[in-house]
């Protein structure tokens, strides 16, 4: 895979180059929520067919989705690869940020639940000693 990287040395920039448009992350989100077919992705996102075709092709080409024959044997379906599944913490963090900052108090929104029906706790990065980490307690080092 060859891309013209926005900032070749930065993992954040490279990630955004791969999945940084809104449609790509919504397709990944819906794949995590069980969408498999072109029709399901289109229905859930409302994305135009040509844009969805492009995003599915890119996400497959970049190794985040793979195609396989559906159980019916009649169609192809899209499933997350290991790299796609590794985006779960990213989607979770975006969801939790949105719950805190993108809704007015009391405004209804979806909530992610664990398998026991309990809301997933907020993700908080911590250091090796358990101390919460943030922009004031971390630094970037080029390797």
Tell me whether residue 39 is in a domain.
yes
Q: Are 120 and 113 in contact (CB under 8 A)?
A: yes
pLDDT given for residue 8 in this prediction:
87
- For residue 97, pLDDT over 80 is answered with yes
pLDDT of the residue at 143: 86
Q: Which domain holds residue 46?
A: 11-87
Counted domains in the chain: 1
Domain assignment present for residue 102? The answer is no
Can you tell me the mean pLDDT for 40-66?
Answer: 96
Task: Assess if residue 129 is contained within a domain.
Answer: no
pTM above 0.85, yes or no: yes
Q: What is the rounded average pLDDT of the residues 43-72?
A: 95
Residue 121 has pLDDT above 90, yes or no: yes
Residues of 10-22 as b/e, b for ≥16 C-beta within 10 angstroms? Answer: eeeeeeebbbeee
Rounded Cα distance between 36 and 32, Å, is 9
The CATH number that applies at residue 57 is 1.10.10.10
In a domain, 139, yes or no: no
Percent of the chain with pLDDT over 90: 89
Q: Is 64 domain-assigned?
A: yes
Q: Decide if 29 is inside a domain.
A: yes
Instruction: Tell me what pLDDT residue 68 has.
Output: 95
**Dist CA 142 CA 10 (whole Å):** 9
Residue 38 domain-assigned? yes
Q: Is residue 32 part of a domain?
A: yes
């Amino acid at each position: 895979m060859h891309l013209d990287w926005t900032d070749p040395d930065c993992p954040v920039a490279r990630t955004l180059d791969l999945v940084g448009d809104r449609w790509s992350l919504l397709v990944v989100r819906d794949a995590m929520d069980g969408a498999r077919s072109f029709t399901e992705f289109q229905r859930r996102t409302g994305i135009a067919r040509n844009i969805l075709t492009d995003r599915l092709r890119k996400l497959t080409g970049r190794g985040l989705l793979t195609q396989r024959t559906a159980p019916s044997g009649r169609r192809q379906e899209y499933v997350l690869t290991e790299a796609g599944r590794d985006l779960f913490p990213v989607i979770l963090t975006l969801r939790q940020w949105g719950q805190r900052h993108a809704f007015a108090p009391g405004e209804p929104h979806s909530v992610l639940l664990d398998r026991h029906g309990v809301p997933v706790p907020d993700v908080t990065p911590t250091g090796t000693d358990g101390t919460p980490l943030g922009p004031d307690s971390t630094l970037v080092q080029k390797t």
